[in-house]
């Protein structure tokens, strides 16, 4: 019994000692927190803009592909060996210009024989017609001669068409791509020779969801953006039916004076502009901090402790040029940090300056350099 009494006394002494040490440590931590709260962080220089309401043009965004008004891959129609190459990569050619000639000595010889047979059949027919007029031969013999003449003539024409196909020609005026054949190469029917694209008019093919299809009309203006290059045009036509696999509707726009750096096959962003506007609350896109947990901005407030930036979460809408629409979270007249938001934290002191101010436009026109 006495032993348990000693253990209890020792436990109580240990508890008192630990409690005292804990109290001392907590006092030290509290003093450090109080000291940290008294330290003033230096103000960060920022540019601010006022949240405003402005007319917001309705647009339809899509992705598309630049195409030429005419473009195709020139292919051989009949098998054969390449005997002559009459073009080089990048050449400008005219429609009907020969590009490639295949070996055709055998076919040419057959054509000459067929033409000789057709000429003989023609002479036999002429002789038979004279004899038939004199009632020397029967009508059945004359019919046979006429059929033979037509048959041999058709054979000659078929061989002439085959020999003509041995010469591959440009289907229209345009610029050739990279040559895909070599001299002496054996080609099969349908093998590619070279790409050809008609220069001048360019088009953009794009698709929109079926929900937006009813808002597309021929003649609507479009903006085409490909990297650092932008062009303008108008919708040429809209497909009358939706693709059942993708539930999208295809449209084609003709570019007006397209930049020289746009090429057929390029991937571009297409913005269809409608003649409808609505007033929305907007801020510069540079004022938004994007994070996995949501989009936010820093609202500048005047407090007793100075000018502070408070992080505020917002719900965003569409983007137009340098601006982005705010659906919820901000009111007109508030001031937000326009640039450098990734350097800030909520409650941080800021100093407003115009040194970092940027010109914001709803339809910017960057120089294509």
* pLDDT tens profile 187-232: 999 999 999 988 777 888 998 888 888 888 888 888 888 777 777 8
Model pLDDT for residues 332-368, shown as the tens digit of each residue: 888 888 877 777 787 777 777 765 556 665 555 555 4
DSSP 329: S
Model pLDDT for residues 285-325, shown as the tens digit of each residue: 888 888 888 888 888 888 777 777 888 888 888 777 777 88
- CA separation for the pair 312, 330 (Å, rounded): 8
Positive/negative CA dihedral, 254, 256, 257, 258: negative
CATH dotted code for 44-56+278-352: 2.40.420.20
Lowest mean pLDDT among 33-42, 108-117, 228-237: 33-42
Which has more pLDDT, 37 or 151? 151
CATH topology match: 61-69+199-275 vs 71-102+166-198: no
- CA separation for the pair 153, 115 (Å, rounded): 7
Model pLDDT for residues 15-56, shown as the tens digit of each residue: 655 555 666 666 667 666 655 555 555 677 777 888 888 877
Q: Give the CATH class of 104-165.
A: mainly alpha
Q: Is the whole model's pTM more than 0.85, yes or no?
A: no
Measured CA to CA in angstroms, residue 58 lies from 184, 206, 215, 273, 320 at distances of 58, 18, 10, 6, 9
What pLDDT, on a 0 to 100 scale, did the predictor assign at position 369? Answer: 45
Fold assignment, 71-102+166-198: OB fold (Dihydrolipoamide Acetyltransferase, E2P) (2.40.50)
Domain 61-69+199-275 classified CATH 3.40.50.2000? no
């Amino acid at each position: 019994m006495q032993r348990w009494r000693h253990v209890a006394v020792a436990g109580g002494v240990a508890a008192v000692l630990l409690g005292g040490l804990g109290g001392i440590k907590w006092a030290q931590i509290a003093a450090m927190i109080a000291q940290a709260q008294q330290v003033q962080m230096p103000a960060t220089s920022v540019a601010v803009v006022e949240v405003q309401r402005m007319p917001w043009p309705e647009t339809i965004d899509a992705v598309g592909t630049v195409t030429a008004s005419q473009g195709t891959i020139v292919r051989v129609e009949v098998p054969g060996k390449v005997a002559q190459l009459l073009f080089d990569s990048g050449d400008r050619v005219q429609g009907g210009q020969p590009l490639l000639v295949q070996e055709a000595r055998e076919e040419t010889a057959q054509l000459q024989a067929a033409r000789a047979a057709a000429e003989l059949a023609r002479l036999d027919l002429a002789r038979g017609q004279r004899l038939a007029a004199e009632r020397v031969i029967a009508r059945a013999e004359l019919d046979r001669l006429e059929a033979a003449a037509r048959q041999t003539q058709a054979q000659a024409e078929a061989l002439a068409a085959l020999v003509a196909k041995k010469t591959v020609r440009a289907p229209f005026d345009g610029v050739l791509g990279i040559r895909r054949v070599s001299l002496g190469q054996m080609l099969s029917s349908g093998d590619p020779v070279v790409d050809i694209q008609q220069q001048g008019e360019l088009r953009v093919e794009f698709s929109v969801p079926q929900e937006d299809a009813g808002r597309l009309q021929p003649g609507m203006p479009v903006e085409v953006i490909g990297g650092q290059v932008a062009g303008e045009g108008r919708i040429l036509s809209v497909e009358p039916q939706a693709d059942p696999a993708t539930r999208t509707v295809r449209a084609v726009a003709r570019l007006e004076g397209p930049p020289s750096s746009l090429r057929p096959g390029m991937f571009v962003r297409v913005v269809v502009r409608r003649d409808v506007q609505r007033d929305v609350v907007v801020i510069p896109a540079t004022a938004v901090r994007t994070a996995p947990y949501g989009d936010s901005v820093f609202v500048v407030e005047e407090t007793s402790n100075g000018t502070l930036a408070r992080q505020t979460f917002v719900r965003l809408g569409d983007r137009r040029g340098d601006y982005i629409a705010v659906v919820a979270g901000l009111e007109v007249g508030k001031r937000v940090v326009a640039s450098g938001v990734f350097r800030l934290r909520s409650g941080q002191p800021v100093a407003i300056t115009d040194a970092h101010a940027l010109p914001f436009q709803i339809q910017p026109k960057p120089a294509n350099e």
